């Protein structure tokens, strides 16, 4: 049976509570109100089940990598994965075919967002420490360009048809960078720092988790402004919406909340809540697989949750696969039917990348 330390999770977020809520209600009052809710939350995770949906194929050691691991990316042509080792100030390059960590890009500043640009065969890295975004030659690992953002460059998304890179950053914004010219070409302002966001190119929308403002923002890319806001109520839960995935076929948005741990499913046309499902604590990545209509959620609380979508309004949990505590960073690779999970160094266990095959 999986366990996650809810009391540790709660108290680690108290400074965030105080910072975010000081202009709304006194921090001590919010803690006094919310603590009973946490006290009576069941701390025990579910037993492992549905393990047949993920088959572990190989484990790739990441020797010398310490601290927190952030986002992952894939180079399909060269069969390599990129791991943003934020706490190590490196990006690790893993050879998926041979199961080896083959290179470490050093000299970074808390790398967070990472992505591969196939048209230019370059690697893009967003640094949270100094706000700078670096381009690297994917074969020589030489730096080819730098784009400077104000601060805290974080999650990124690449639109290969438009050759545009979208990067969340700083106190509130998503920068648009031309992948060919390496220049910033646009900016979408936000009320606070964005976490995971999803681009709906067909409807010219960007859905953005803005947990410090207790809301999800909907940006119209054509009008370059926020056209809708879906707020988290001040004194109600859940809160801390970080990971996000999108299903454009059924107009559904999948949002991971950390307090309490929930997967909330919304209608993208109205913001209406469709379903609320239990997940493990400290979720950080969500993926929707269009081939199987499944949702994958990786959580630092110690498990991967898999949900089956019967139709746009009906969802069922089909798997809860136990993992190392803190292993919250993942990547779905539907082209190869693979699911990657990064495990940070814990005690005497070194960091590693787990490569699973998704079983249909």
User: Average pLDDT of 143-170?
Assistant: 97
Confidence category of residue 24, pLDDT binned at 50, 70, 90:
very low
Q: What is the pLDDT of residue 47?
A: 87
- Residue 144 DSSP code: E
Confidence category of residue 19, pLDDT binned at 50, 70, 90:
very low
Tokens standing for residue 221: 């890319």
User: Is the pLDDT at 232 greater than 90, yes or no?
Assistant: no
Confidence category of residue 347, pLDDT binned at 50, 70, 90:
very high
User: Is the pLDDT at 145 greater than 70, yes or no?
Assistant: yes
Q: Hey, how many other C-beta atoms are within 10 angstroms of the C-beta on 151?
A: 17
Portion of the chain with pLDDT greater than 70, in percent: 86
CA dihedral 209, 298, 48, 11 (to 10 degrees): -60
Rg of the chain in Å (alpha carbons): 19
User: Average pLDDT of 190-203?
Assistant: 97
Least confident of 12-26, 177-191, 227-241: 12-26
Q: Mind listing the pLDDT tens digit for each residue in 269-307?
A: 999 999 999 999 999 999 999 999 999 999 999 999 999
Q: Which residues of 235-272 are buried (b: 16+ CB within 10 A; e: fewer)?
A: eeebbbbbbbbbbbebbbbbbbbbbbbbbbbbebeeee
Angle, CA 233 vertex, CA 230 and CA 238 arms, to 5°: 90
Q: What is the pLDDT of residue 229?
A: 97
User: Is the pLDDT at 48 greater than 50, yes or no?
Assistant: yes
Confidence category of residue 26, pLDDT binned at 50, 70, 90:
very low
* Rounded CA separation 16/25 (Å): 14
Q: What is the pLDDT of residue 201?
A: 94
Q: What is the pLDDT of residue 192?
A: 98
Confidence category of residue 169, pLDDT binned at 50, 70, 90:
very high
Contact (Cβ atoms closer than 8 angstroms) between residue 247 and residue 313? no
CA dihedral 57, 61, 67, 70 (to 10 degrees): -40
Contact (Cβ atoms closer than 8 angstroms) between residue 240 and residue 257? yes
Tokens standing for residue 76: 């399909």
User: Is the pLDDT at 257 greater than 60, yes or no?
Assistant: yes
Q: What is the pLDDT of residue 234?
A: 64
Confidence category of residue 46, pLDDT binned at 50, 70, 90:
low
Distances in whole angstroms, Cα of residue 315 to Cα of each of 142, 264, 267, 306: 46, 11, 14, 10
Confidence category of residue 6, pLDDT binned at 50, 70, 90:
very low
209 forms bridges with which residues in the sheet? 216
Least confident of 25-39, 97-111, 245-259, 283-297: 25-39
Beta pairing, strands 132-137 & 122-127: antiparallel
User: Average pLDDT of 209-231?
Assistant: 96
* Rounded CA separation 296/336 (Å): 16
User: CB-based contacts of 243: which residues, under 8 Å, 6+ apart?
Assistant: 195, 196, 209, 255, 256, 283, 284, 285, 286, 297
Confidence category of residue 252, pLDDT binned at 50, 70, 90:
very high
User: CB-based contacts of 24: which residues, under 8 Å, 6+ apart?
Assistant: 234
Tokens 């089940």 sit at which residue? 49
Tokens standing for residue 104: 């470490």
231 forms bridges with which residues in the sheet? 215
Tokens 């990348």 sit at which residue? 353
Q: Hey, how many other C-beta atoms are within 10 angstroms of the C-beta on 12?
A: 11
User: Average pLDDT of 73-94?
Assistant: 98
Tokens standing for residue 26: 């006194």
Phi (first) and psi of residue 322, to 5 degrees: -70, 145
Confidence category of residue 128, pLDDT binned at 50, 70, 90:
very high
Q: What is the pLDDT of residue 237?
A: 79
Portion of the chain with pLDDT greater than 90, in percent: 85
Q: Is residue 277 classed exposed, middle or buried when 0-12, 13-18 and 19+ CB atoms within 10 A define those classes?
A: middle
User: Is the pLDDT at 45 greater than 60, yes or no?
Assistant: no
Contact (Cβ atoms closer than 8 angstroms) between residue 182 and residue 143? no
Look at 145 and 37; give whichever has higher pLDDT: 145
Angle, CA 262 vertex, CA 258 and CA 264 arms, to 5°: 115
User: Is the pLDDT at 357 greater than 80, yes or no?
Assistant: yes
* Rounded CA separation 334/305 (Å): 17
Contact (Cβ atoms closer than 8 angstroms) between residue 264 and residue 216? no
Confidence category of residue 28, pLDDT binned at 50, 70, 90:
very low
Q: What is the pLDDT of residue 34?
A: 44
């Amino acid at each position: 049976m999986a366990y996650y330390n809810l009391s540790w999770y709660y108290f680690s977020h108290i400074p965030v509570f105080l910072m975010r809520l000081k202009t709304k209600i006194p921090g001590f009052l919010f803690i006094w109100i919310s603590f009973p809710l946490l006290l009576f939350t069941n701390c025990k995770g579910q037993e492992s089940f549905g393990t047949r949906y993920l088959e572990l194929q190989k484990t790739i050691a990441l020797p010398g990598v310490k601290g927190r691991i952030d986002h992952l990316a894939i180079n399909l042509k060269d069969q390599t994965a990129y791991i943003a080792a934020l706490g190590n100030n490196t990006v690790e390059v893993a050879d998926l075919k041979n199961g080896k960590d083959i290179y470490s890009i050093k000299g970074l500043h808390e790398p967070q967002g990472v992505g591969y640009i196939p048209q230019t065969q370059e690697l893009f890295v967003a640094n949270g420490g100094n706000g700078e975004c670096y381009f690297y030659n994917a074969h020589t690992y030489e730096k080819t360009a730098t784009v400077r953002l104000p601060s805290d460059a974080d999650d990124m998304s690449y639109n290969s048809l438009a050759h545009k890179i979208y990067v969340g950053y700083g106190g509130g914004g998503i920068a648009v960078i031309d992948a060919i010219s390496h220049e910033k070409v646009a900016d979408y302002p936000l009320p606070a720092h964005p976490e995971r966001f999803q681009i709906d190119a067909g409807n010219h929308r960007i859905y953005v988790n803005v947990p410090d403002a207790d809301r999800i923002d909907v940006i119209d890319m054509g009008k370059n402004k926020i056209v809708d806001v879906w707020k988290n109520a001040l004194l109600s839960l859940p809160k801390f919406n970080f990971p996000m995935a999108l299903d454009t076929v059924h107009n559904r948005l999948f949002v991971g909340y950390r307090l309490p741990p929930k997967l909330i499913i919304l209608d993208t046309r109205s913001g209406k809540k469709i379903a609320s499902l239990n997940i493990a604590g400290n979720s950080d990545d969500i993926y929707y697989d269009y081939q199987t209509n499944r949702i994958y959620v990786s959580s630092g609380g110690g498990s991967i949750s898999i949900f089956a979508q019967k139709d746009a309004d009906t969802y069922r949990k089909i798997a809860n696969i136990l993992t190392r505590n803190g292993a919250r960073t993942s990547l779905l690779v539907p082209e190869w039917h693979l699911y990657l999970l990064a495990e940070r160094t814990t005690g005497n266990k070194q960091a590693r990348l787990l490569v699973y095959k998704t079983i249909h």
